[in-house]
Amino acid sequence: MKQILNFIQNRNVILISALILAFTLPANAKHLKEYTILILGIVMTFSTTGIKFKMLSDYKSVLKVTFQSVLMNYIIHGTIILSIAYFLFDETIFNGFVVIAATPPGVAIIPFTYTFKGDLDYSFKGILGTYLLAILFTPLIISTFAENISLNPMIIILVIVKIIIIPIALSRFLLIKKVIPFTEKYRGKVVDWGFALIIYTAVAINRDIIFSNWIIVLKTSFVLIIAIFVSGIVYLFFTRKNNNKQLQISKNLMLTVKASGFAVAVTLILFKQKSAIPAAVMSILVLLWLISLNVYYSNNK
């Protein structure tokens, strides 16, 4: 019985099950869709309990980490995506890739930094800095590469408040002395199951789009596999002898993980539903990449 419970509670099993259910039983996603931000907020609240505000006291470090994060996630990752997608797709699908390039790093980086035992200080500074800069970068990138589009920065500001600022504030209550035992006991479970629900919802609501556009999906997968898997594996290869494993974990996540939920939402607001195919495919590939990293880091402790 204990072995069965351990199997069910295994992170990889939970996430893969979420992906399978998204394709086989997608109907419940419409009920979960409106709660996605709330679920993500809860996950972030538990994930950010390890963050100390003194991390931000060293402004030089904050600026350095933010610069590195922008370089990896916006410039390198974004350039790979746009330079390949430009030659493969029409304007409708290419606009979806533009949104991905303009999307900040995924907030999932923080909980998975905790899960992989990475550098939480680095990941938090990188996420915070890039999300603040997203107020400038996201509209700028979209307006530069996509035609006749304007983006209200308030959309991004509201996202930042809901999934970063409020959860960090609430996480302080989970650090109250009497609450810490509860936090330590359930933090991992909340992160795993919460992220599984988010993945299920993101994939399930785009299931029909994915199934009805296989050629586009395959071409999209090709672009994103290079941007996520190939770049991530290359990074692992060149940093394999680096002694600061925690930092390299965080940097790898910053290089390869975009906010797929953010990308889906913004794409649907600005473009046709078909333009959301790249973001929907990305949500699947990011999940597979995170599962792959989980296996890799578990076997290379």
Q: What are the residues whose beta carbons fall under 8 Å from the beta carbon of 211, sequence distance 6 or more?
A: none
Taking a C-beta distance cutoff of 8 angstroms, is the pair 131, 104 a contact?
Answer: yes
Which value, to the nearest 10 degrees, does the dihedral of the CA atoms of residues 77, 36, 128, 296 take? Answer: -50
Per-residue pLDDT at 147: 66
All structural domains of the chain with their residue ranges? 28-299
- The one-digit pLDDT tens for each residue of the chain (301 residues) are 666 666 667 777 888 888 899 999 988 888 887 888 888 889 888 877 877 777 667 788 889 999 999 999 999 999 999 999 999 999 989 999 999 999 989 888 988 898 898 998 899 899 888 888 888 888 889 888 986 666 677 777 777 788 778 888 899 999 898 999 999 888 888 888 888 888 888 888 878 878 888 899 999 999 999 999 999 999 999 998 888 899 999 999 999 999 887 888 788 778 887 888 898 899 889 989 998 998 888 877 6
Report residue 105: phi and psi, to 5°: -55, 150
Q: What is the CATH code of the structural domain delimited by 28-299?
A: 1.20.1530.20
Burial 212-227 (b: 16+ CB within 10 A, else e): ebeebbebbeebbeeb
Q: Reduced to 3 DSSP states, what percent helix, strand and coil does the chain have, rounded to the nearest 5? A: 85, 0, 15
